[in-house]
Amino acid sequence: MTGLECFLDGFQLIRRPGLRRYFIVPCLINAVVLTLLVVLSYSHFDDWVAIIVAWFPDWMSALYWLVWGISLIVLLVLILFVFTFVANIIASPFNAILSIKVEQALTGSAPVSTVSPWLILPRSVARELGKLRYIFPRLLGLLLITIIPGINTVAPFLWVLFGAWMMSIQYADYAADNNDVSFRELQSRMRARRFDALMFGLPAYLLLTVPVVNLILMPIGVAGGTRFWVERLR
């Protein structure tokens, strides 16, 4: 299966009778985090856009609406990134359990791990926090590109690519962690399947902008990411 097919299969997997109950809590967490983020963003959105517009050079003032549009895209990408990161930290233990159940349904056996089931919660949260070392340097690099005149015109496209890559890593990582595969090793395997990984992550990232769908995207992504692990990364 391709990366795109694995992601789409996530929609079918969470509808299986034995798996439905495991996606309720991640959906509720998504709803709460997204609601809080929307309320916060609504009151400051115009100010944030104005700040980003001010970073562009004066010679682009004649293209104000283009600059405003680019700034809007960059800001939306940042908001979606924050939403995804916060929601995944909170829901990580539940997502780990969902991934275990999906892998068991796909392969007939649960992943073999040396970690006690009682340690799933702290290990999952620690794994999410550990990803900060991977994310922050790249995030800062993109922010620098965003504020450099001239170069920042390509920033929206780079943000989307970065978002797609991070979504694929995020959702495949639950299965990798359940199988005692390190985050560094997962990165290596993902780079070997770079195109498939991007084709998995791109629709996941774009669907973050679709109301209602973004509320159920997390369990869909976890289920699809586990399928991606089983089919392409094991």
Give the DSSP letter string of 20-84: GGGGHHHHHHHHHHHHHHHHHHHHHHHHHHHHHHHTS-GGGGGGHHHHHHHHHHHHHHHHHHHHH
Q: What is the pTM of this model?
A: 0.79
For the chain, 234 residues long, give each residue's pLDDT as a single digit of tens.
Answer: 899 999 999 999 998 888 888 878 888 888 888 788 778 777 777 777 677 667 666 666 666 677 677 667 767 777 777 777 788 778 888 888 899 999 999 998 878 665 555 566 677 777 877 888 888 889 889 888 877 877 878 888 898 899 899 999 999 999 999 898 999 999 999 999 999 999 999 999 899 878 778 788 889 999 999 999 999 998
Amino acid at 87: A
Q: At what angle do helices 213-228 and 155-178 cross, to 10 degrees?
A: 60
Q: What does the alpha-carbon distance between residue 172 and residue 99 come to, in Å, rounded to a whole number?
A: 9
Q: What does the alpha-carbon distance between residue 97 and residue 120 come to, in Å, rounded to a whole number?
A: 8
Can you give the residue ranges of every domain in the chain? 3-42+77-233
Q: How far apart are the first and last CA of the chain?
A: 13
pLDDT at 110: 76
Q: What does the alpha-carbon distance between residue 175 and residue 163 come to, in Å, rounded to a whole number?
A: 20
What sign for the dihedral angle of Cα 225, 130, 179, 120?
Answer: negative
